[in-house]
Amino acid sequence: MHISVITIFPEIFSGFLSTSLIGSAIDRNLMRASIHNLRDYTGDEHRSVDDEPFGGGPGMVMSAIPWISAVNQIAESNPGWRILLSPQGTRLSEEKVGELATRGHLILLCGRYEGLDERVSDTVVDEEISIGDYVLSGGEVAAMVLIETVSRQIPGVIGQWQSVQQDSFRSGLLDYPHYTRPRKVDTLEVPDVLLSGDHRAIADWRFRESLRATLRKRPDLIASVKLTSQQRRILGQVEAEEGSPLEFSESPTESLLHQNTGRSSHESAQTEKTRLRTCTSFKR
């Protein structure tokens, strides 16, 4: 996996790409990251990347030509899937991450200011991705989120592949609670079952607690989880323990299922001159 990033703030990425799991993955040649300074693709001596908006209005707009030159030059040697990080994009999800992880080369465009001249999207962008419904000052932090989550899907990046498989959202359920030493923190003790050595009982407890965490924190997720009839029975028990927020005949799960299927909201939800450039390569 090769990830190229285009930004006017390349320095933001240096600590991120040299630390922890990503730093180690790059050291071990499991992935490669190249950071390109957009200003290196400008044609003027001031290396300017923005201008006033046609039609007036506040702020500045990033000019199309440096972006188009940068993307085309980077893609020339290694064509890639070109992603603009933008609040107007498709929301990033674990499913989308899995799809992106199968691509050999991702080219990430990190915009700033009021955004990019529309002709960038029209010509050199395959997909716009947002990391959430809020506005960041630029796409750099969003690109880091994307890089981190995609890197987790590259075999060998996470020491224990099992922990990737068990990540929240992969199963559709949130994670169960975790504990480590000491056994007692003030009056709070580690659940006995985790000290029992009974692996079956521990797995059962963890499944129940995943269900409980999902019901409490993200009940909207429950309706889309695929459960066996035995697991569905356990869900019923956990719902009863938690106290159903609905006082009628439907359990919260049934109610959500009906909302989703009955009203079909589930379906609806859903090289210019060759010149010196400062591409910081994070491949050693």
Residue 226 identity: K
Among 132, 159, 191, 245, binds ligand ADE (CB under 6 A): 132
Strand-pairing partners, residue 62, are: 50, 116
CB of 26 or CB of 92, closer to ligand ADE: 92
**Beta pairing, strands 105-110 & 2-7:** parallel
**Rounded distance between C-alpha atoms, residue 10 and residue 37, angstroms:** 6
CB of 88 or CB of 278, closer to ligand ADE: 88
CB–CB of 244/6 below 8 Å?
no
Among 17, 31, 71, 131, binds ligand ADE (CB under 6 A): 131
Taking residues 74 to 113 in sequence order and writing x for each that binds ligand ADE by CB under 6 A, - otherwise, the string is -----------xxx--------------------------
130 binds ligand ADE, rule: CB under 6 A: yes
CB–CB of 135/87 below 8 Å?
yes
188 binds ligand ADE, rule: CB under 6 A: no
Helix (H) or strand (E) holding 87, with range, is strand 81-91
Strand-pairing partners, residue 37, are: 7
Instruction: Restricting to residues 134-153, name those near ligand ADE by CB under 6 A.
Output: 134-136, 139, 142
CB of 15 or CB of 132, closer to ligand ADE: 132
DSSP 188: E
210 binds ligand ADE, rule: CB under 6 A: no
The answer to whether 152 is a known catalytic residue is: yes
Q: Which two tokens stand for residue 175?
A: 């994670």
Report how far Cα 241 is from the mean position of its chain's Cα atoms. 33
Q: Active-site residues: which are they?
A: 87, 114, 152, 167
Positions that interact with ligand ADE (CB under 6 A) = 85-87, 130-132, 134-136, 139, 142
